[in-house]
């Protein structure tokens, strides 16, 4: 049996299923065709949003409280726990020297299953790899899994069914729609999310219907997730449409205490792997329906400054498109901020009403003594898609894959790589193709810069003067 979580846990309340299992299940035994229709037709939310819009105009909408997670100040969950301490899998990932995983947000559909299936089908195609090291090991959803109010009756159609063939664990940061409460209903905020993602044991949720995936065992809506080569700090940015809120007088500052504790442990342990922040509301957006979460980002920055630890990258959803930013801090280090909220729910354009498309890259925030330079590097506001991330001992690579590319396309439409030691955007050092000794020589050649006797770097000759010996030939090795 897995290690049972306490039955007194406040983060795991809700109707229990009697299908408690000895080990987690991540997919169906055999692949099945995509559904063409929803099992439960999604009713109109127009009446509920009419009330919400009025409350918003009157400034009566506030962040909602949430149950404290299991595990004290810094709740933790390990990849080993999620896979029931599958030592063979853990050893394989370690031997591979890297871990691959997915991320996307805003994946729940309300009009039908087609768009969410388009994304999940392409994700599933990533399990078909010539090199087993390239197979994804988990998926981290960036919020808004179920629309419009995280209702239990829609979990089957919007989450379990589209991911029925996904052969790995799925974790999630809760989004505003996962915690929102319809003013016409009397549900508790996050009730279904906690049941399906914060279970205290491996059990099949009643919301999964006849499908086999077990509920996830996250300790709550904020936690540290530790996997080989990567550590993810997940935050809950609450229920407002804008901005994201992780701490205020209504919900307290438990997440700021958590963030500080998590970063202090990173510092104490001298952790050298990739460090990611994951939450729903993005700190930066270029344009569109959603704005920046300025105060939330300032609170995060304050803790990072105080501890002296910053993330290698920040992942968010909320805006229903893909946007990639580079934040250049005053010390010259780079932090990619990725918005990937086009996981299946209606794509949102960044420009409307005949406006010309945005040109990228472009500076969206000027550098000053108080603010860092933030550049919009790339975006996609026309397609659904997801992130594929690769972490190893030296680098973190973040790829963007539009679902429209189909299962036979493995090349990303956009990518960024961060050197973990220097925290600089870097050239990705690819894996070998079955010739590891040669690949290691190539890595050494690519990373070691020749210098003159005085220590200055040697300037490369022009292409015209290099000839065929500018780079060592394979036969020389």
Tens of pLDDT, residue by residue over 177-229, are 999 999 999 889 999 999 999 999 999 999 999 999 999 999 999 999 999 99
Q: pLDDT grade, residue 422 (50/70/90)? A: very high
Q: What is the pLDDT of residue 109?
A: 92
Residues of the chain above pLDDT 90, percent: 81
pLDDT digits (tens, 9 = 90+) for 461-472: 443 333 333 333
**137 with 180: CB under 8 angstroms?**
no
Distance of CA 179 to the CA centre of its chain: 18
Q: What is the pLDDT of residue 437?
A: 76
- Dist CA 425 CA 312 (whole Å): 10
Block residue for tokens 């962040």: 63
Q: What is the pLDDT of residue 353?
A: 82
Q: What is the pLDDT of residue 462?
A: 40
233 or 444, greater pLDDT: 233
Q: Where in the chain is the domain with CATH 3.60.21.10?
A: 10-431
pLDDT digits (tens, 9 = 90+) for 320-346: 999 999 999 999 999 999 999 999 999
Residue 423 makes CB contacts below 8 A (sequence gap 6+) with 310, 312, 333, 334, 335
What is the rounded average pLDDT for all residues in the chain?
90
Quick one: which of 334, 380, 275, 314 has its CA closest to 142? 314
- Dist CA 250 CA 302 (whole Å): 20
pLDDT digits (tens, 9 = 90+) for 231-273: 999 999 999 999 999 999 999 999 999 999 999 999 999 999 9
Per-residue pLDDT at 291 exceeds 70: yes
pLDDT digits (tens, 9 = 90+) for 98-154: 999 999 999 999 999 999 999 999 999 999 999 999 999 999 999 999 999 999 999
Per-residue pLDDT at 451 exceeds 50: no
Is the sign of the CA dihedral 317, 319, 325, 327 positive or negative?
negative
pLDDT digits (tens, 9 = 90+) for 30-78: 999 999 999 999 999 999 999 999 999 999 999 999 999 999 999 999 9
Give the C-alpha distances (Å, rounded to integers) separating 216 from 39, 189, 210, 372, 466.
Answer: 23, 18, 17, 37, 56
Torsion angle defined by CA atoms of residues 154, 157, 158 and 160, in that order, rounded to the nearest 10 degrees: 110
Residues of the chain above pLDDT 70, percent: 88
Q: Is 319 left (phi over 0), alpha (psi -120 to 50) or beta?
A: beta
The model scores a pTM over 0.85: yes
Q: What is the pLDDT of residue 289?
A: 74
Per-residue pLDDT at 473 exceeds 60: no
Per-residue pLDDT at 459 exceeds 80: no
CATH 3.40.50.300 assigned to 10-431 = no
Span 398-427, average pLDDT: 98
Q: pLDDT grade, residue 454 (50/70/90)? A: very low
Q: pLDDT grade, residue 352 (50/70/90)? A: confident
Span 411-416, average pLDDT: 98
Span 406-425, average pLDDT: 97
Q: pLDDT grade, residue 9 (50/70/90)? A: very low
Give the C-alpha distances (Å, rounded to integers) separating 289 from 285, 352, 468.
Answer: 9, 10, 53
């Amino acid at each position: 049996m897995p290690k049972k979580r306490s039955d007194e846990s406040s983060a795991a309340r809700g109707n229990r299923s009697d299908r408690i299992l000895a080990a987690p299940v991540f997919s169906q035994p055999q692949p099945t065709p995509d559904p063409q229709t929803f099992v439960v037709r999604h009713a109109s939310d127009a009446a509920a949003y009419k009330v919400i819009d009025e409350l918003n105009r009157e400034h009566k909408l506030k962040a909602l409280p949430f149950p404290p997670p299991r595990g004290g100040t810094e709740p933790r969950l390990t990849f080993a726990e999620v896979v029931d301490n599958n030592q063979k899998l853990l050893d394989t990932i370690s031997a591979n020297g890297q871990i691959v995983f997915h991320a996307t947000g805003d994946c729940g559909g309300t009009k039908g299953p087609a768009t969410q299936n388009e994304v999940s089908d392409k994700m599933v195609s990533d399990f078909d790899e010539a090199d087993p090291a390239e197979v994804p090991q988990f998926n981290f959803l960036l919020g808004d899994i179920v629309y419009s109010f995280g209702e239990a009756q829609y979990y089957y159609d919007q989450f379990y069914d589209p991911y029925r063939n996904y052969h790995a664990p799925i974790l999630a940061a809760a989004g505003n729609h996962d915690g929102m409460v319809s003013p016409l209903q009397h549900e508790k905020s996050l009730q279904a999310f906690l049941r399906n993602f914060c279970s205290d044991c491996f059990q099949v949720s009643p919301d999964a219907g006849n499908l086999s995936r077990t509920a996830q065992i996250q300790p709550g809506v904020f936690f540290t997730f530790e996997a080989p080569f990567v550590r993810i700090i997940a935050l809950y940015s609450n229920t407002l449409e804008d901005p994201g809120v992780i701490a205020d007088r209504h919900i307290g500052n438990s997440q700021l205490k958590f963030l500080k504790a998590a970063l202090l442990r990173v510092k104490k342990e001298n952790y050298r792997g990739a460090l990611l922040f994951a939450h729903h509301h993005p700190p930066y957006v270029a344009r569109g329906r959603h704005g920046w979460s300025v105060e939330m980002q300032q609170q995060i920055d304050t803790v990072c400054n105080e501890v002296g630890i910053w993330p290698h990258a920040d992942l968010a959803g909320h805006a229903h498109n893909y946007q990639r930013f580079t934040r250049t801090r005053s010390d010259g280090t780079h932090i990619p901020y990725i918005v990937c909220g086009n996981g299946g729910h209606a794509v949102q354009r960044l420009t409307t009403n005949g406006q010309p498309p945005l040109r990228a890259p472009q500076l969206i925030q000027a550098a000053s003594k108080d603010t860092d330079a933030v550049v919009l590097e790339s975006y996609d506001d026309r397609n659904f898609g997801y992130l594929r991330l690769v972490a190893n001992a030296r680098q973190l690579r973040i790829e963007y894959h539009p679902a429209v590319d189909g299962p036979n396309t493995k090349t990303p439409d956009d990518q960024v790589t961060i050197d973990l030691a220097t925290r600089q955007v870097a050239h990705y050092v690819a894996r070998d193709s079955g010739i590891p000794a040669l690949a290691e020589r190539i890595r050494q050649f690519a990373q070691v810069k020749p210098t003159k006797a005085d220590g200055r770097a040697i300037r490369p000759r022009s292409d015209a003067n290099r000839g065929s010996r500018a780079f060592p030939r394979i036969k020389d090795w």
